[in-house]
Amino acid sequence: MPIPFNQPFLTGKETDYIRQAVESGKISGNGEFTQRCQRFLEERYGFRKVLLTTSCTDALEMAAILAEVGPGDEVIVPSFTFVSSALAFVRQGARIVFADSRPDHPNLDLDRVEALVTPRTKVLAVVHYAGVACDMDRAMELARKHNLLVVEDAAQAIDATYKGRPLGGIGHLGCFSFHETKNIICGEGGALIVNDDRFRRRAEIIWEKGTNRAEFFRGEVNKYGWVDMGSSFLPSEIIAAFLYAQLEHLDDIQAKRKALWNIYAEELAPVAHQRGLALPPIPSYACNNAHMFYGLCSSLEERTALIARLKANGVLAVFHYLSLHKSPFFAAKHDGRELPHADRFADTIVRLPMYFALAPGQVREVCEIVQGFYA
């Protein structure tokens, strides 16, 4: 049978909880299931405040509003990332300064970021690629030194840590994705993590269309109205109900994904050592949340041929981001710096199938095709 790149996983409780939400008589946002999801994440990871959103993009847009970036401000963003990491700040009028990846990993090269900081720099956006942590001590050190806000794009990083601390909970603000390709899903969805108490109240107002509606329903004010910027960032109870069913099975999902990841790593180790396909490195300060298994080919031509070989054998493997500094939208706005490592990862990363329903035998089948290609 063909092996797709991704297949959404259902725990079996999703439709039960959706039915409960519908029968409760409230399916708009910030109901019982929204609060259950937020409480789960706060209690499990020690996050100070969690707000569910309709996507990680929305969480990033909330972060950009909270950071009060605008025309004349600069935001440092890795070039090798999804467009949302930059777009959220572009929408606020900020100038994006793209940074290169590390030589040994797609994550941001924080040793080279300081040279990009100017008096106009307001935000440093770090992206934890494949759920593997950036060097957050270095990021926060730069933030303190230059009075920056750190926004963690932790879209792929649920249940991942940096030196034992949960990702998304270290920067001033963190953003998660629950898109159907992620470890924990609800189709489209996300969460904003508020780690700095300065932003707690305003984040909730922005989340509720610029109103203090949530405070009103908690009885903290006797009326509510339009008090700030905002939008309809909160998801419906139907989405939250689906997500809660997933969160309840987080440990089972993670255990299965890690087992599959380890099979890939073991089976492909000989290819990596003898034939030159580089496997994903995990720095000593990070952990592996098994979001993704990828390899690094030696060239674009090699990757194209490998993906074609896999496809010919019924396996869908894919590449990933194109460097944003070379994108049609941004190329003319870029300052001309070469970002060679971002470009190299854009040309050579190949992502192999990774999802809960994938059988160990299917992983070994994929590995046999890769081994045969390099033989």
pLDDT at 125: 98
Domain boundary among 196, 222, 247: 247
The domain spanning residue 258 has which CATH number? Answer: 3.90.1150.10
pLDDT at 258: 98
Whole domain around residue 332: which residue ranges? 250-374
Residues 160 and 120 in one domain: yes
Residues 258 and 368 in one domain: yes
Residues 343 and 234 in one domain: no
Structural domain contains residue 8: no
Taking the model in full, what pTM does it have? 0.96
pLDDT at 67: 98
Tokens for 92, please give them.
Answer: 């606020």
Domain boundary among 215, 247, 279: 247
Could you report the average pLDDT of every consecutive run of 10 residues in the chain (375 residues)?
95 97 95 98 98 98 98 98 98 98 97 97 98 98 98 98 98 98 98 97 94 81 86 96 98 98 96 83 96 96 97 97 96 95 98 98 98 93
pLDDT at 315: 98
Residues 231 and 315 in one domain: no
Q: How many Cα neighbours within 13 Å face the side chain of 35? A: 9
pLDDT at 271: 87
Structural domain contains residue 280: yes
Whole-number Å distance between alpha carbons of 262 and 268 = 10
Residue 300 burial (CB count, 10 A): 14
pLDDT at 220: 80
Pairing of strands 74-78, 121-127: parallel
Residues 273 and 229 in one domain: no
Domain boundary among 199, 218, 247: 247
Collect all residues with Cβ–Cβ distance below 8 Å to 56 and sequence separation of at least 6. Answer: 84, 153, 155, 175, 176, 177, 178, 179, 190
The domain spanning residue 230 has which CATH number? Answer: 3.40.640.10
Overall number of domains in the chain = 2
